[in-house]
Amino acid sequence: MPGTRPAGPWSVFNVDGVEVPYYVIPFDKEGVCTAPATRRHLVDAAGAGVTDIYLFSHGWNNDWSVVEPGGMYDRFIDGFLDLTRRHGRPRPGARPLLVGVFWPSIVLSSDTGPRMAAGGTVDRAAELAHLDAVSEVAAEAVTAADRPRFYELIALDRLDDAELRELADLMLPLYQDGDDEEATGAPTPDGVVRDADELVGLWREVGSAAARDAGPTVVTGLPPEPNDAPVGDAADRPEAAGLFSALDPRQVVRLATVLIMKDRAGRVGANGVQAMLHELLDGSGDARVHMVGHSYGCKVMLSALAAAAPPRNVRSVLLMQPAMSYLALADRLPGSGGTGGYRSARERCELPIMATFTKKDVPLRRLFHLAVRRASDLGEQDIGVAGRDVPRSRFAAMGGWGPGGLGGHVHDVVIKRPADGPYDNPDQPGDVVALEAHDQIDGHGDIVKDVTWWALYNLVAMD
């Protein structure tokens, strides 16, 4: 992160002679805003005749480069603004304002994470990145008294059965004490981790799944930008050599970071972004607020919206490849009286929430339900929407399978390109539009493109 900057916009875009200020508001891992002067400047600017506020959140595994020139925010905004130049501004005469949330979503010190095989030589940068991850997991998941033994076990090249179970005992609290936002009022389901033996079984199950998929996305849980395409032949990749075996303690650490970042996204959204959202809604008159999230950034956005009733409703929400339970928005979880933890977000949005999903998102389609399997991560299975695959697990991800548990309140739509024309407005607040993107979105990070810009454009343009 750069040095101290004066309070104000990060940059200013120009759209047909109209200046569009772009703010970046950073938060720490507990959701405390670390640039309060810039936040105050933002809230003041929002009350000065702005008509549309765009609030973005990046997802997993992004460092400060996400907001630098050429970073994901820059590319998404540039593409969206270019689309408005070609198709006309979605709201003629509008005065927009852009806000990018930055939160510490990366444990590893490199952009892609260390590429460590089961054995052999590891370069110094990769080793330092691994040490970053170990320290983070120790601080978040292991008691101070147990950390010396944790560090000893993690330092081993391989673990025997007794050592593996001992490590599971030390890390068990992480798998039992998650946030409770994605499912409320639900009993503890089958498949969750209850003891160290079940945790060892989970690690082995993930290892088997990773061996089948043998893709680099397995290593960091979710892939870095811009996509999750394999690099080189599968047999040549360090991930293929390690096969995500639970016997390799480094891979166990990496799996733990998936849960840590998921919980952190919820805290940042519910604590810091929620307060800022309320300030923007309260201080911007009748300006429309459009929320956009990617991956765990969807959890940031929905946590901000669901944590407490806002002063007024936001206008729209676009979830791009949400890394969260496919039942997070559900009316009811089958087999229980509970609802999706973000059910209230649907009533706090004027337009139906839009969410993209694709079967080409390998981590969310084939691995998320194994890595994220605590009682608080619950999604129930046996919910099918006509024309859509039934998730293989009650813990399935929305970005891989689409939103479920909505009955007649979900609209299944194939995601559109600009040439396909505008979306029909369901005009039913509280509903959800599931954007099936199997042929358009090719991986978890493949969201900087015309189909996502067009979805946002249509939400902004809807009367």
Q: Is the pLDDT of residue 446 over 50?
A: yes
Return the beta strands (E) in 128-229 as ranges.
183-184
Q: What is the mean pLDDT of residues 274-303?
A: 97
The pLDDT of residue 392 is 66
pLDDT surpassing 50 at residue 342 = yes
SS3 284: coil
- What whole-number distance in Å separates Cα of residue 281 and Cα of residue 303? 16
For residue 383, the model assigns a pLDDT of 29
Q: According to the model, what pLDDT value does residue 158 have? A: 81
Judged by DSSP in three states, 152 sits in helix
The identity of residue 82, as a single letter, is D
Contact (Cβ atoms closer than 8 angstroms) between residue 183 and residue 333: yes
Mean pLDDT across the stretch 362-385?
Answer: 62
Contact 90, 84 (CB under 8 A): yes
Query: Which of 57-66, 339-348, 361-370 is the least confident region?
Result: 361-370
* Cα–Cα dist 45/138, whole Å: 41
User: Of all helices (H) and strands (E), which one includes residue 26?
Assistant: strand 18-26
Could you tell me how many helices (H) and strands (E) the chain has, helices first? 16, 11
pLDDT at residue 107 tops 80: no
Ordered structural domains, the chain, with CATH? 11-106+262-461 (3.40.50), 124-257 (no CATH)
* Local confidence band at 213 (pLDDT 50, 70, 90 cut-offs): low
Asked if residues 226 and 445 have their Cβ atoms less than 8 Å apart, the reply is yes
* Range of lowest pLDDT (100-109, 137-146, 372-381, 450-459): 372-381
Is the pLDDT at 222 greater than 60, yes or no? no
Residue type for position 218: V
Q: Which of 67-76, 162-171, 322-331, 392-401 has the lowest mean pLDDT?
A: 392-401
> Whose structure tokens read 């539009």?
433
Q: Could you give the strand order of the β-sheet that contains 353-357, starting from the edge strand earlier in sequence? A: 11-15, 18-26, 96-102, 52-57, 288-294, 316-320, 353-357, 432-436, 410-414
Place of tokens 């307060």: 275
Q: Which residues contact 443 (CB under 8 A, 6 or more apart)?
A: 223, 227, 228, 229, 360, 361, 362
Considering only CA atoms, which of 344, 319, 342 is closest in space to residue 181? 342
Does 334 score more than 70 pLDDT? no
Average pLDDT of the segment spanning 368-375: 72
Averaged over 280-293, what is the pLDDT?
97
Q: Is the dihedral of CA 461, 78, 223, 230 positive or negative?
A: positive
Higher pLDDT, 242 or 43: 43
Res 120 pLDDT > 60:
no
pLDDT band at 59 (very low <50, low <70, confident <90, very high): very high
**What is the distance between the alpha carbons of residues 251 and 269, in angstroms, rounded to a whole number?**
28
**The three-state (H, E, C) secondary structure of 56-100, written as one string:** EECCCCCCHHHCCCCCHHHHHHHHHHHHHHHHCCCCCCCCEEEEE
Residue identified by tokens 């639900």 is: 186
Nearby residues of 120 by Cβ (< 8 Å), 6 or more positions away: 241
Question: What is the rounded average pLDDT for all residues in the chain?
Answer: 81
What does the pLDDT read at residue 385?
A: 37
Span 340-368, average pLDDT: 92
Residue 79: pLDDT over 60:
yes
When pLDDT is cut at 50, 70 and 90, the band that residue 380 belongs to is very low
pLDDT > 70? residue 226: no
Indicate if the pLDDT at residue 121 is higher than 50.
no
Would you say residue 6 has pLDDT above 50?
yes
Is residue 312 predicted with pLDDT exceeding 70? yes
What are the φ/ψ torsions at residue 94 (nearest 5 degrees)?
A: -70, 150
Residue 19 pairs in a beta bridge with 14
Per-residue pLDDT at 339: 86
Percent of the chain past pLDDT 70, that is, above it, reads: 77
Residue 305 has a pLDDT of 97
pLDDT attached to residue 229? 35
Task: State the pLDDT confidence band at 415, using cuts at 50, 70 and 90.
Answer: very high
The strand pair at 183-184 and 339-340 is best described as antiparallel
Confidence of residue 122 (pLDDT cuts 50, 70, 90): very low
- pLDDT score recorded for residue 13: 92
Q: Please tell me the total number of residues recorded for the chain in this structure.
A: 463
User: Of 238-252, 321-335, 391-405, 408-422, which range is least confident?
Assistant: 238-252
